[in-house]
Amino acid sequence: MRATAMDGRGRTGGDVAHALGERVKELDCLYGIARLAERHPDSVDDILAGALRILPPAWQYPKEARARIVFRGRIRQSPGFARAKARQAAPVRVGGEAVGEVAVGYVKARPASFEGPFLREERALIDGVAEYLGVIAGRIEAGWAVAEANRLLTVEREALREANAALRVVLARIEEEKREMRRDIGAGVERVLLPILHAMELELPASKRAYVDLLRRNLLDVAAPFAGPLSAALPALTPAETAICTMIRGGLRTKEIARLRGTSPATINRHREHIRRKLGLANRPVNLVTHLQGMAAERPA
């Protein structure tokens, strides 16, 4: 009989070849999972489904081997895994938390080895696969979290942009309402109160007219932020012309102004001519009422 060659550990050439073949299968398993991670960088489900197919062929008895992967409560397993008589398993951890396990079992009894029928190398392999799957799943879930955070940030940024746009509209409307209110208050002072003061001034004796003038000045000071006296914008006008401008801008006609001031319409018309000349409107087809009202509207609030 021919002697069988043996290595330094007392193993025959056939044993060495078998061991090398097992190690190749284990490496193929790990490389296969790595390729799954490259092929499905955003899908834990696809990677786990592929790993379930890759695991059984990597064990010593692939025809009897069945696999099961549990991840976050979802179970994926080879047909017939429930009949497995011997099993080995390793926990899958994500961020240090156990979220599932990888298990391999044989549906038929096999000879005893390091861990039941399983080799020492198979224990190392299943531990490595479980750890690798946990790392891959953790990376993908972290990417999902970042993507969701970015999505929420985009939604919040868009909501903030819309809120700012709405706020600008509201603020613009408030400013417009404030301008309208200023114009209304100023117009009310000039159209209602000042003509009454002019009329009172004409009815009072000369000794009392100083009070009316004082009241008029204080009223104009109070109303200045809203309308402002024409004398502030038109310093070239005399006090009488300023008062007449106020009445004209308030919509009073020449006869009404003349009656309130106790003078003739001809005198008021001469004042109107002087006012037009000082305003640069002489010989121009410009309505004095419209011009004065426009000057009031253009003054800053």
Positive or negative torsion for Cα 175, 178, 180, 183: negative
Cα radius of gyration rounded to whole Å, the chain: 49
Domain that holds residue 39: 13-150
Q: Is residue 80 situated within a structural domain?
A: yes
- The pTM score is 0.50
Q: Under a CB-based contact definition with an 8 Å cutoff, are residues 29 and 58 in contact?
A: yes
90 and 185 belong to one structural domain: no
207 and 292 belong to one structural domain: yes
* pLDDT of 6: 46
Read off the tokens for 119. 């080799």
* CATH assignment of the domain containing 109: 3.30.450.40
Tell me the per-residue pLDDT of 178-223, one tens digit each, with 9 for 90 and over.
Answer: 888 877 776 667 666 777 777 777 777 877 777 777 777 777 666 6
115 and 216 belong to one structural domain: no
Read off the tokens for 201. 């001034």
Question: How many Å separate Cα 138 from the centre of its chain?
Answer: 28
186 and 146 belong to one structural domain: no
Positive or negative torsion for Cα 282, 284, 289, 294: negative
293 and 194 belong to one structural domain: yes
Which residue from 134, 125, 126, 140 is spatially nearest to 39, judged by alpha carbons? 140
* pLDDT of 1: 37
Burial class (CB in 10 A: 0-12, 13-18, 19+), 248: buried
117 and 205 belong to one structural domain: no
Per DSSP, what are the bridge partners of residue 201?
Answer: none
* pLDDT of 234: 58
Residues 6+ apart with CB under 8 A from 293: 249
80 and 143 belong to one structural domain: yes
What torsion do the CA atoms of 265, 270, 273, 274 make, to the nearest 10 degrees?
-130
**What is the C-alpha separation between 199 and 193, in angstroms, rounded?**
10
DSSP string, 261-296: HTS-HHHHHHHHHHHHHHTT-TTS---HHHHHHHHH
Q: Under a CB-based contact definition with an 8 Å cutoff, are residues 179 and 301 in contact?
A: yes
* pLDDT of 93: 94
Read off the tokens for 156. 């919040």
Q: Is residue 194 situated within a structural domain?
A: yes
* pLDDT of 106: 93
Q: Is residue 8 situated within a structural domain?
A: no
Provide the number of structural domains found in the chain.
2
Q: Under a CB-based contact definition with an 8 Å cutoff, are residues 28 and 51 in contact?
A: no
The helices-and-strands tally (H runs, E runs) of the chain is 10, 4
Q: Is residue 105 situated within a structural domain?
A: yes
Give kind and range of the element (H or E) at residue 256: helix 254-261
Instruction: Identify the segments of the chain with pLDDT beneath 50.
Output: 1-8, 228-229, 300-301
